[in-house]
Amino acid sequence: MKDPKKFWTKKKAQWYMKAIESCNYQQKIISIIGPLLKPEDTLLDIGAGVGAFSVPLAKRIKWVTSLEPSPAMAEELENYAKKEGVPNITIIQELWGEVSVEPHDIMLIANTPVVKNHEALKSVIKKATRLVILVMSMPDENKFFFKELYPIIFKREYTPKIYLKEVFSILDDSKIRYNVKEVKYNFDQPFGSLEEAVEFWKEYMVLENYEDFLKKFLEKRLEKDGDGFRYPLKNSALVIWFIPAFKLR
C-alpha cells in the first residue's frame, strides 16, 4: 500500500482540488450523507483529503475532526475551510491507528484502505457512538487510461485496487445490519493546457521521460474544454451506513 504522506504531492493535491471543484461527486455523495446527520453531531472524517466532505458537512453539524496524513492534502483542506469560512474543523495530520482520537457521533471513511482491514474497521466502529458511514467508489479498470498506458510503458497490466469484496465480507461475517445505496457521479479532471495534462500523467505514473509520447496520446483522448482540456470520468460509488450496535467480532 502506498504511503499517503509521500504519494500526495503538492501538485497532486492541487489537481485533486480542481477536480472536486469541477465535478458533482461531492454534491452527489452529500445528498445521501446529509440527511443522516443531526445538527448536534460530531464527525470524524478518516482520510479526509482536501476536505471534500469535511468542509461542507461542518456547515451542518457541531464539529468535524479531519484525519489526513498527507501534508499537501491537509494544506488544501485548511485553505478550503478558510475560503468557505468554516471554523468548526480540527485537522490532524496522522494516519488512523497512529493517533488517539476521542469517540465521535459519526465516523466517515471515504475511499480509504482502512476499511479493508478487519482490525482497523473494528477500531473505527468502537469510536462511533451513533453511525458509521463508508463511501466506496467502484474500481475503474481504465482510470487515467492506465489500462492502455501500463502495457506500453511498464510492460505489464494495470490492476485496479478493489476493496468492496473485503468490506462486505467483514460486515457480513460480523452480522452487521447495514444500508447501502449506489450513487452515480462524474469526476472530471480539468487541465489548463495539454502540457499540464502531460505533467499530470508523468506525476501519477512517476515518469521522467515520455513527454512527446504522452502529448500525442492525450491529445487524441482528452476532451477539449475552452482553452484547455478535460479528462472525463463517469463512475459510481456505494454509500454504506450502519448503527454500530453490533460490534465486530
Q: pLDDT tens-digit profile of 182-215?
A: 999 999 999 999 999 999 999 999 999 999 999 9
CATH for the stretch 4-140+161-191+234-242: 3.40.50.150
**Is the Cβ–Cβ distance between 221 and 145 less than 8 Å?**
yes
Using 50, 70 and 90 to split pLDDT, how confident is the model at 139? confident
3 state DSSP class of 64: strand
Task: Summarize pLDDT for 12-48 with one digit per residue, the tens.
Answer: 999 999 999 999 999 999 999 999 999 999 999 999 9
Interatomic CA distance for residues 107 and 191, integer angstroms: 34
Interatomic CA distance for residues 242 and 245, integer angstroms: 8
DSSP structure class, residue 237:
E
